[in-house]
Structure 1
Amino acid sequence: MPGPAAVHEGGRPRAEAMSPSNRRRSAGPRRPKILSRNILVMALLAGVGLAAGIWLSPRRGVAPTPMASAPVPAEDAASGTRVPSPVESRLQVIWDDLGVPPERVVRSSWVPAGGFPVTLEVTLPKNVNLLAASRALEALARDSSAGVGISWVREETALRQAEISLDGVLTHRVILREEKEFTAPQLLDGPKVAVIMDDLGGDERVFKLLLDMAIPITMAMLPGNGQARRMAQEAHARGLEIMVHMPMEPRDYPSRNPGPRALKVSMEGQEALKLIASQLDEFPWASGANNHMGSRLTEDPQRMGMVMEMLAARSMYFVDSLTSPRSVGYTLARQRGLKAYRRDVFLDNARSPERILEQFQNLMRLARSRGYGIGICHPYPETVALLPELHKLSTAEGIRWVKVSELPQESSQ
């Protein structure tokens, strides 16, 4: 599974978008440009209507967290054209020299509007080993004229993560991974995507819209959030998959608050176990769970170990939302024998239809390359308006939407 990408807390935007590349053509099929324009026009029109119907009416549930302000070093605001940074331009030369096609480099940003630091997730072709790619990065750091520094923060058998700085300022996190193959039966029915919608349970209008779409979205329900339990039961009866969206302590708590029923690192023993059990017991129809916020708690092996014990006792899977690149959630889940995944793409960190479509195209490219992809989105008007068109687009290109529980599990990740 893919490693860390954009940090995302509380279901609020921290932009994630991949920079277009005109250096190579993607190996996957491309849809006609006119289709893209039609999708965007339809989504914009629908978004206006939904915004009036949803966001101007009284809302229940968790109040939205304001989006943080940030510089926009990676985009020309006047033209909308993404401008590569000096470091990224040098990195692109490395990918070209190694023969890494652009669809294998997934770019995401940790802050709004495509700012820095940026995460680049690079899946190496079969003919490029991890050592060769690592040495290519280290050679860049040895070039004194570049002013680039590199430090390795994660080293595994088939994955390495580096932090890259320019003149002492962190600009990029680069995740190198070797390609892994799935067994043939897992790919017989073509590529798949699982789309998880977080933060559900408080807005009846959005919930009804999602049900009426008849699209296999996996619904992640916040415990104690309005009518979440009733909604989960109704969605389950309609054949949709339910997850528990478990509130966990973020790094900047309490300025960013996951809610009164959040698991915190200060909780000990029985207090923590009782809270975890209450979150899971609220949704007996749930097949799995993922974290809501949690950039601090997901780095805590003791509390995350408790979460995995409770999930294992209920035969539930875990999806690590990766709000921290140092999360131990996925690793602990696999160690305890759980079916587990990492989130691949946040679809709507930037909420414009153009950005959402761009991120969904990234998800489709990953699904074609690896066999499946996991995207997380949120009940924003722009996202809800665009979902039917995204579903039609991917279906037309032979990519099937499935429940998370229907995704293949690699034997070793």
Structure 2
Amino acid sequence: MSKKKNLRGKKRSKQKKSSRRKVSGVPFWRQPVFLGLLIALSAFIGMLLFSRIPSPEEVAPTPQIVKEISLTDLRVEVESLLWRLGLKPEDVNQQPSEGVLDLRVKGDFPDEQQVIGFDERLQALSTQLRVESYPPRRELRVFSGPALTVRLRFLAPSLQPADPGPAVTIIMDDIGRSLDKVRRVLALEQPVTLAILPSTPYAQRSAELAHDEGREVMVHIPMEPQGYPAIEPGRDALLLEHSAWEIERRLKYMFQRIPYAVGGNNHMGSRYTEYDAGMRSVGEFLRERGFLFVDSRTTGKTLAEQTMQELGVPSVSRDVFLDNNQDVELIRREIRRLATLSKRYGLAVGICHPHPETIEALQLELPQLAHEGVRFVSITEAVRVAQSRGN
């Protein structure tokens, strides 16, 4: 009997303990997890509720309306600048250029304070407008965002007489492979403009040496020739298959490689310069950045200079290749012919290459022609001469 009573007592104690554990309705080992889930759920609901209420900082600002500036508005400010410079209507000649107010002005280039004042007045019209000054080229340009809208080209007083005298420009192509040849050309008293191939090992250094001597440089832009790909124009050349975006990318790279460049001319390109769409892409790149272009005329069907003129890019064309025959006396004869053309037309542009015979012919002939009154000028000056003559 006593054993039965003990067994019943143990069962009752177990039942009491188990009933105490089941009071909450959830097993004891699960209670912390349950509480954690409740807390996480509450936090999530709170985040949803508060995310729907916009804070004062998140209220979208009222969009600013940018006033569209017309060429008429810009013309008023341009005429105001010219009036402040003391110029008369007959001193200003507008050039045909689609979407750009392109003016040639007979007068002195504005000083720094006048340019700053002009820029401030344009800023009052629109913060999208900015003025860029190019004193060496005697040009002011107004941009609306990235787009060129106004170009003012001031003709130097020395270029305004009817006959300033014959001028010759000599460009030496294919520069960048030898610094010794660059130094020999820069040692000439008469200026020779260097056209530097971007992919050559001494491209940048050649440009720096020329700049130190006060000489101008251009980018010698490789372009697709007739006979491509059998005839290779070089690395990063512009090809007919390229899109406008790819052309701009390659040109940016070339001009970054050659500091102080004032413009470019074509290397080869007998096929590319016949390609209207491609040359327009090149011209738009040059126009937006204030560069000039020289048509090397590697084909009789070239569209280069015509396209540049239509786009308002300062440009001239090559008249004579000086060293098709690498013989000193024959090269001297071609230099003389170039000088004769300059006397007939007022300006002549010759292109040559850094052959030893060419450099020797230049050393012999240029001082003699200068003594006879022929002016040897940089390519920038040549473009201004052409503009002053209405070429």
Q: TM-score, normalised by structure 2?
A: 0.57
Contact 2:171 2:351 in 1 (8 A): yes
Contact 1:345 1:375 in 2 (8 A): yes
The AA in structure 1 aligned to 2:282 is: V
1:355 aligns with 2:330: yes
Match of 2:258 in 1: 283
The AA in structure 1 aligned to 2:249 is: K
Match of 1:385 in 2: 360
Deviation at 1:269, TM superposition (A): 2.8
Match of 1:338 in 2: 313
Q: 1:208 to 1:296 in 2, by over 3 A?
A: same
Question: Out of 200, 204, 210, which is 1:229 matched to?
Answer: 204
Contact 2:204 2:259 in 1 (8 A): no
Contact 1:339 1:409 in 2 (8 A): no
Q: 1:186 to 1:330 in 2, by over 3 A?
A: farther
Residues 81-112 of structure 1 deviation map (CA, whole Å, 9 limit, x = unaligned): xxxxxxxxxxxxxxxxxxxxxxxxxxxxxxxx
Percent of aligned pairs with the same residue? 36
Deviation at 1:286, TM superposition (A): 0.7
- 1:201-240, aligned counterparts within 5 Å? 201-240=176-215
Match of 2:381 in 1: 406
Contact 1:250 1:296 in 2 (8 A): yes
- 1:224-303, aligned counterparts within 5 Å? 224-303=199-278
Residues 55-97 of structure 1 deviation map (CA, whole Å, 9 limit, x = unaligned): xxxxxxxxxxxxxxxxxxxxxxxxxxxxxxxxxxxxxxxxxxx
Question: Relative contact order (C-alpha < 8 Å, sep 6+): which is higher?
Answer: 1
Deviation at 1:236, TM superposition (A): 1.0
Contact 2:329 2:361 in 1 (8 A): no
- 1-structure distance, mates of 2:360, 2:191: 16
Residues 294-339 of structure 1 deviation map (CA, whole Å, 9 limit, x = unaligned): 0000111111111111111111111100001111110110111111
- 2-structure distance, mates of 1:208, 1:214: 12
- 1:81-96, aligned counterparts within 5 Å? none
- 2-structure distance, mates of 1:373, 1:271: 34
- 2-structure distance, mates of 1:387, 1:254: 34
Deviation at 1:234, TM superposition (A): 1.9
2:247 aligned counterpart, secondary structure: helix
Contact 2:274 2:302 in 1 (8 A): yes
Q: 1:186 to 1:359 in 2, by over 3 A?
A: farther
Match of 1:167 in 2: none
- 2-structure distance, mates of 1:220, 1:236: 13
2:187 aligned counterpart, secondary structure: helix
Deviation at 1:211, TM superposition (A): 2.2
The AA in structure 1 aligned to 2:273 is: T
Match of 2:59 in 1: none
Q: 1:194 to 1:186 in 2, by over 3 A?
A: farther
Q: 1:184 to 1:285 in 2, by over 3 A?
A: closer
Deviation at 1:187, TM superposition (A): 5.3
Question: Out of 278, 287, 290, which is 1:315 matched to?
Answer: 290
Residues 136-155 of structure 1 deviation map (CA, whole Å, 9 limit, x = unaligned): xxxxxxxxxxxxxxxxxxxx
Long gaps (5+) in structure 2: 1-157
Q: TM-score, normalised by structure 1?
A: 0.54
1:373 aligns with 2:348: yes
- 2-structure distance, mates of 1:187, 1:220: 30
- 1:167-182, aligned counterparts within 5 Å? none
Deviation at 1:215, TM superposition (A): 2.9
- 2-structure distance, mates of 1:265, 1:225: 23
- 1-structure distance, mates of 2:302, 2:163: 32
Deviation at 1:255, TM superposition (A): 1.9
Contact 1:187 1:371 in 2 (8 A): no
The number of aligned residues is 231
- 2-structure distance, mates of 1:406, 1:288: 13
Deviation at 1:238, TM superposition (A): 1.2
The AA in structure 2 aligned to 1:274 is: R
Point out the more displaced range, 202-211 or 304-313. 202-211
Contact 1:291 1:321 in 2 (8 A): yes
Q: CA RMSD in A?
A: 1.7
More helix by share: 2
Deviation at 1:412, TM superposition (A): 4.9
Match of 1:306 in 2: 281
- 2-structure distance, mates of 1:338, 1:186: 24
1:409 aligned counterpart, secondary structure: helix
Residues 7-62 of structure 1 deviation map (CA, whole Å, 9 limit, x = unaligned): xxxxxxxxxxxxxxxxxxxxxxxxxxxxxxxxxxxxxxxxxxxxxxxxxxxxxxxx
The AA in structure 2 aligned to 1:409 is: A
